[in-house]
Amino acid sequence: MKLLHATRLNLFPLLVFLLLTVGCSENNTKNLRKDADTFLADYSGRYVKLYTENESAQWQANVMIVPGDSTNAKRANAAAEALADFTGSQENVTLATDFLMHADQLSDLQRRQLEKILYMAGNNPAVAGELVPRRIAAENAQNGALYGFEFTVNGKPISANEIDQILRESSNINERLRVWRSSKEVGIGLKDGLANLAELRNGTVQALGYEDFFQYMASDYGMSTDELLALTDQLNQELRPLYRELHTWARYELAKRYQQPVPEQLPAHWLPNRWGQEWSPVLTVEGLDLDAALQGKSAESIVHAGEDFYVSLGYPQLPETFWQRSSLYPLQQSVKYKKNNHASAWHINLEDDVRCLMSVEPDADWWETVHHEFGHIYYFLAYSNSDVPPLLRDGANRAFHEAVGSLLGFASKQQPFLAGRGLVAANAQVDPMQSLLKEALLNVVFIPWSAGVMTQFEHALYADNLSEDHFNEYWWRLKLEYQGIVPPEPRGEEFCDAASKTHINNHPASYYSYALSEVLLHQLHEYISTTILKQDPHATDYFGSTETGEFLWSILEQGATVDSDDLLREKTGSGLSASAMLEYYEPLYEWLVVQNKGRTDTLPELNDLVQ
């Protein structure tokens, strides 16, 4: 009897029988692989259908949040539960486990798909019972509260884009404080939900043998929790000398800007980002003012410039459905609903239905964000090919997906690229050290935030069961030790400033991927600059380089069918290393040491990392 014709009811006992009786002969290996292919084809077909229904429902729940109307939330809950029921079913877990008992007789592609099935089951196991639907409902409720929140200043509504603009541009210290306070108000109503989600997320993965949700997420990299924390701590230690100089420079320069005494640590409301995760807007490089260059341009022109860049690399134009189905611009004030204000890229059907959710405006931040998010979109399109099974249509690891987007965003802001697009004068005399400093205030400053504050907080939340009564105290302890940032005023436990960060609510325990992606970005950039373009890594123009496009596509099109470290070694000649990033910023470090001569360094040491 061929398994292809087996019914769903008799598939399980038949496969178990075959697996228990199979030998090691060549014929039995062929039969085993054939049976595995049949199971994987059946699973994949059902998975894609349910995945598409879930993504479609989640999309609608993110682009139309109607106060008092739970229609979209209920649909999203139902779709997520259906997908969870399937991926976590005991039958699928048992079958995948039984096949993997004979992994040495399976193809590498089969083994990877089966391991992916078990990994997905880990977050939705049937044995967790009612915890899974409770977690799904809690996640959707948290999203609704997060994105349905109305920020206000002096009793008047203010958008997230407006908050960000004021923090980037205002020199009025009192206005900055008011807006910063407003940006944190959302966390108050999310605190109990976050505590509940931590318990539910832990409970679901523990039902399948994981220690906690943080360990579950780390296992996707093939690492233990200790190994992952050792890696992120290493990144912080390696970049600490440069970050120390940046921290000192910022304290003194911002004190002059705001006409204030030099603070011992950086007040959070002095920085141009709600979470202090990047500081680049504090510096305007003469001859390289992208915000000024984009004034008067339309948001649509920014989006189409992003597509033009990828097309110049030899990639196809985006599908017409992308333009029809995406939500790219801020909502009109007249509409009676809200939408998720965090930029994201979506692969709705694991084929050609790709979309972006953004609120693009003509400024430097959105210029980079558009190029970044389109990196995700083209990654989706590249690995949606017949050589990559649907279950492996993902990045080589989570950091790869972010690195590709960040790499193209990074490249899109270098002077030769901008000059080629007519956004800065081709003969502009740009101080290369100022340009490098601006890049460091974006990329280097990001490491202690991502590999430090975010990673350590979520580790404590899930692995150490951090008490809800200490969320804010622990958050600001981490902010001090890793970033040298302090709140402008006491922040008691009535607040939950961590929950104001999107990812803590809906992309949990994975923010270290962004830190790893920064390292990978610089590694890929070094290779492209020196080997393909033959240009100074500090002044490149990727536009029109089809060789660069081919190099990147050769990485993207493989999806998750290969080991990420093997792929990186094959393409660049070395495994993941921070050496390219350190080398890139070495001239800046030497310059900053001179600039900071006579200034007092106050950044805490990292010898005793917060436990």
Task: Residue 447: name the closest of 227, 262, 274, 231 by CA.
Answer: 231
Summarize the confidence of residues 128-136 as an average pLDDT. Answer: 93
Task: Residue 401: name the closest of 552, 537, 502, 276 by CA.
Answer: 552
Task: Give the other-Cβ count within 10 Å of 466's Cβ.
Answer: 20
Which range has the worst mean pLDDT, 282-286, 320-324, 518-522? 282-286
Summarize the confidence of residues 199-213 as an average pLDDT. Answer: 96
Instruction: Look at residue 328 and give its three-state secondary structure.
Output: coil
Say yes or no to pLDDT of 610 above 90: no
Residue with tokens 């995760």: 277
Task: Residue 526: name the closest of 568, 588, 589, 563 by CA.
Answer: 568
Say yes or no to pLDDT of 542 above 90: yes
- The per-residue pLDDT for 150 is 93
- The per-residue pLDDT for 334 is 87
Say yes or no to pLDDT of 300 above 50: yes
C-alpha 584/C-alpha 436 separation (Å) is: 9
Task: Residue 493: name the closest of 512, 467, 461 by CA.
Answer: 467
Residue percentage of the chain with pLDDT more than 70: 95
Most confident of 11-20, 63-72, 293-302: 293-302
Residue with tokens 């399937």: 86
The alpha carbon of 425 is separated from its chain's Cα centroid by a whole number of angstroms, namely 33
- The per-residue pLDDT for 15 is 52
3-state secondary structure 211-255: CCHHHHHHHCCCCCHHHHHHHHHHHHHHHHHHHHHHHHHHHHHHH
- The per-residue pLDDT for 27 is 81
Beta-carbon contacts of 575 under 8 Å, excluding residues fewer than 6 positions away, are 565, 568, 569
Say yes or no to pLDDT of 307 above 60: yes
C-alpha 517/C-alpha 488 separation (Å) is: 31
Give 464 or 5, the one with higher predicted confidence.
464
Beta-carbon contacts of 580 under 8 Å, excluding residues fewer than 6 positions away, are 519, 522, 523, 525, 526
Beta-carbon contacts of 602 under 8 Å, excluding residues fewer than 6 positions away, are 247, 248, 251, 264, 265, 484
**Given pLDDT bands bounded at 50, 70 and 90, which one contains residue 608?**
low
40, 116 contact by CB (below 8 A):
no
- Domain assignments of the chain as residue spans, ordered by start: 3-122, 131-281+298-389+399-611
Summarize the confidence of residues 274-301 as an average pLDDT. Answer: 92
Give the pLDDT confidence of 94-103 residue by residue, as tens digits: 999 999 999 9
The bridge status of strand 152-153 relative to strand 156-157 is: antiparallel
**Given pLDDT bands bounded at 50, 70 and 90, which one contains residue 214?**
very high
C-alpha 135/C-alpha 126 separation (Å) is: 13
**Given pLDDT bands bounded at 50, 70 and 90, which one contains residue 16?**
low
Residue 575 token pair: 């495994």
Say yes or no to pLDDT of 39 above 80: yes
Average model confidence (pLDDT) across the chain: 93
- The per-residue pLDDT for 429 is 86
Say yes or no to pLDDT of 346 above 70: yes
Task: Give the other-Cβ count within 10 Å of 490's Cβ.
Answer: 8
Give the fold, CATH level 3, of 131-281+298-389+399-611.
Answer: Neurolysin; domain 3 (1.10.1370)
Task: Residue 390: name the closest of 51, 164, 123, 3 by CA.
Answer: 51
**Given pLDDT bands bounded at 50, 70 and 90, which one contains residue 287?**
confident
Say yes or no to pLDDT of 6 above 60: no
73, 139 contact by CB (below 8 A):
no
Task: Give the other-Cβ count within 10 Å of 504's Cβ.
Answer: 25
C-alpha 426/C-alpha 152 separation (Å) is: 42
C-alpha 205/C-alpha 213 separation (Å) is: 6
State the sign of the Cα–Cα–Cα–Cα dihedral 415, 420, 425, 428: positive
| Backbone angles phi and psi of 177, in degrees to 5 | -65, -45
Residue 324 token pair: 């029809």
C-alpha 350/C-alpha 116 separation (Å) is: 15
Task: Give the other-Cβ count within 10 Å of 296's Cβ.
Answer: 8
Look at phi and psi of residue 356 and say left if phi exceeds 0, alpha if psi is from -120 to 50, else beta.
Answer: beta
**Given pLDDT bands bounded at 50, 70 and 90, which one contains residue 606?**
confident
Task: Give the other-Cβ count within 10 Å of 588's Cβ.
Answer: 23
Say yes or no to pLDDT of 3 above 60: no
- The per-residue pLDDT for 611 is 46
Give 24 or 63, the one with higher predicted confidence.
63
State the sign of the Cα–Cα–Cα–Cα dihedral 519, 525, 531, 536: negative
Summarize the confidence of residues 406-426 as an average pLDDT. Answer: 93
